[in-house]
């Protein structure tokens, strides 16, 4: 394919060969946000279009706000890998993927520039409108692949997106110390925590045992919804934030 008309008005088109058809009859009902985790945006753009990489994304958003579309929204891009949300595992078939240029945690993890976030907001609004994607389904790669991925990370300004009408959030409950559920704990309180995480969509086994997978999912939850402290311990602030999130529209 030499080119296509971008789904997002104003986007540049640079075609990636790394895509296929969406499986079954799946249509996009989720937006998954990533960071590129590479030294430069140009390098990331080349990588996502290199057949050898076998990865792609529908969109790439550069630091200066420039948007590049690489895969049509109707097609299946290869961005999420092994993932899960509400028990569904072929996330690539039901999502639109957006790579946001940022070198990531292993290369200093700078903040996201304002112009870049403004472009992300506009792009998300357009995608959500075209596919009737609900606010709760604008997610981080780390939400759908906890333990394996931590992008776009705790510096990503979810609050700014939410203030602009993108995504689902509550103001995190204050951190006050006190008792917390942590790895090794067992019992009904752990089962309740796991159930609540599962009700929101996270892939966690409900066992009543606060095991490693539970800690990893709690970290993923905190990274998105209580980013001030990502420690994998379900303290009062984490639990109240999760309860309020589940109760909010
Ligand atoms: Zn990612």
Q: What is the CATH number of domain 188-247?
A: 1.10.101.10
State in Å: Cα 177 to ligand 1 middle: 32
Which has the closest alpha carbon to 232: 171, 169, 164, 185? 185
- pLDDT band, residue 26 (cuts 50/70/90): confident
Phi, psi of 234 (to 5 degrees): -85, 80
- Residue 1's pLDDT is 58
Whether the Cβ atoms of residue 185 and residue 210 lie closer than 8 Å to each other? yes
CA dist list (Å): 235 to 72, 175, 219, 229, 240: 42, 8, 12, 10, 9
- Residue 221's pLDDT is 98
State in Å: Cα 180 to ligand 1 middle: 30
User: What mean pLDDT is predicted for residues 6-28?
Assistant: 94
State in Å: Cα 234 to ligand 1 middle: 25
* Mean pLDDT of all residues belonging to the chain: 97
Say if residue 249's pLDDT is above 90.
Answer: no
* Residues, CB within 5 angstroms of ligand 1 (ion): 34, 141, 151
State in Å: Cα 144 to ligand 1 middle: 10
Whether the Cβ atoms of residue 245 and residue 225 lie closer than 8 Å to each other? yes
Task: Let me know the angle formed at the C-alpha of 226 by 225 and 230, rounded to the nearest 5 degrees.
Answer: 120
State in Å: Cα 148 to ligand 1 middle: 9
For residue 195, the SS3 value is helix
Percentage of the chain modeled with pLDDT above 70: 99
Pick the catalytic residue from 12, 24, 54, 99.
99
Q: What pTM does this model have? A: 0.97
User: What mean pLDDT is predicted for residues 107-119?
Assistant: 98
DSSP percent split of the chain into helix, strand, coil, nearest 5: 35, 15, 55
For residue 154, the SS3 value is coil
CATH 1.10.101.10 location in the chain: 188-247
For residue 204, the SS3 value is coil
- pLDDT band, residue 165 (cuts 50/70/90): very high
State in Å: Cα 207 to ligand 1 middle: 28
CATH 3.40.80.10 location in the chain: 12-163
- pLDDT band, residue 199 (cuts 50/70/90): very high
Torsion of CA 123, 124, 130, 132, to 10 degrees: -170
Known catalytic residue at 99? yes
The CATH H-level (homologous superfamily) assignment of domain 12-163 is Peptidoglycan recognition protein-like (3.40.80.10)
């Amino acid at each position: 394919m030499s080119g296509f008309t971008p789904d997002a008005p104003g986007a540049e088109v640079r075609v990636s060969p790394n895509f296929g058809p969406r499986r079954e009859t799946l249509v996009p009902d989720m937006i998954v946000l990533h960071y590129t985790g590479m030294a430069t945006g140009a390098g990331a753009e080349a990588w996502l279009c290199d057949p050898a990489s076998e990865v792609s994304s529908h969109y790439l958003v550069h630091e200066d706000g420039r948007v590049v579309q690489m895969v049509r929204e109707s097609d299946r891009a290869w961005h999420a890998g092994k993932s899960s949300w509400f028990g569904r595992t072929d996330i690539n078939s039901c999502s639109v993927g957006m790579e946001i240029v940022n070198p990531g945690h292993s290369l200093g993890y700078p903040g996201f520039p304002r112009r870049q976030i403004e472009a992300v907001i506009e792009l998300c609004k357009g995608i959500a409108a075209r596919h009737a994607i609900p606010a709760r389904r604008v997610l981080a790669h780390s939400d759908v692949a906890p333990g394996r991925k931590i992008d776009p990370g705790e510096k990503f300004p979810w609050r700014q997106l939410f203030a602009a009408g993108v995504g689902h959030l509550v103001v995190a409950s204050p951190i006050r110390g006190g008792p917390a559920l942590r790895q090794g704990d067992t019992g009904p309180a752990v089962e309740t925590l796991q159930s609540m995480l599962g009700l929101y969509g996270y892939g966690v086994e409900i066992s009543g045992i606060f095991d490693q997978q539970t800690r990893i999912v709690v970290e993923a939850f905190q990274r998105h919804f209580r980013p001030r402290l990502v420690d994998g311990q379900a303290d009062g602030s984490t639990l109240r934030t999760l309860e309020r999130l589940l109760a909010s529209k």
